[in-house]
Amino acid sequence: MAVRPIYRYNELSGSNAIKKEIGIQVQFQDSGVFKSTYTTKQQVKNQLINYILTNPGERFFNPSFGSGIKALLFEQTNDLTQLEEQISTGISNNVENIRVNSVNATQNNNEIYININYTINNQTDELTLALDINE
């Protein structure tokens, strides 16, 4: 009978640590290059941005994914509570392991600011997006 080798896990830290990518950033800044994310905090923020900027029907095999924010922004109403509720409910249903604490939307001239306060892994964080209505 062959003897199986013993594998050991040695945690690396400091300058010897090997970085493992866990996702890519939504903002593509260099042509043809995806910037990687290395922390859960970065990845969650990118998931939220991706969800908010995606329209329902844009993802194959998951047609309900997306906030549909573009359709709401161009309605003839100044009531942002529907937008806040739709984003909060959508994130809770479509983005895993995130607990939404609050969503606040405010409008200033041609921009809408969306502030999302959320908790993941018992850590609270915040994301603020500024959306230009004219674009």
In a domain, 62, yes or no: yes
Total structural domains within the chain: 1
Short-list 56, 38, 37, 45, CA closest to 115: 45
In a domain, 10, yes or no: no
CATH number at residue 77: 3.10.450.40
In a domain, 16, yes or no: no
In a domain, 74, yes or no: yes
Instruction: Give the range of the structural domain holding residue 46, as residue numbers without chain letter.
Output: 21-132
Confidence of residue 100 (pLDDT cuts 50, 70, 90): very high
At position 56, the amino acid (one-letter code) is P
Separation of alpha carbons 64 and 83, rounded Å: 16
In a domain, 6, yes or no: no
pLDDT digits (tens, 9 = 90+) for 26-49: 665 556 666 777 788 888 888 898
In a domain, 5, yes or no: no
Torsion of CA 26, 28, 34, 38, to 10 degrees: -50
Is 90 exceeded by the pLDDT of residue 89? yes
Q: Which residue has the tokens 């942002």?
A: 80
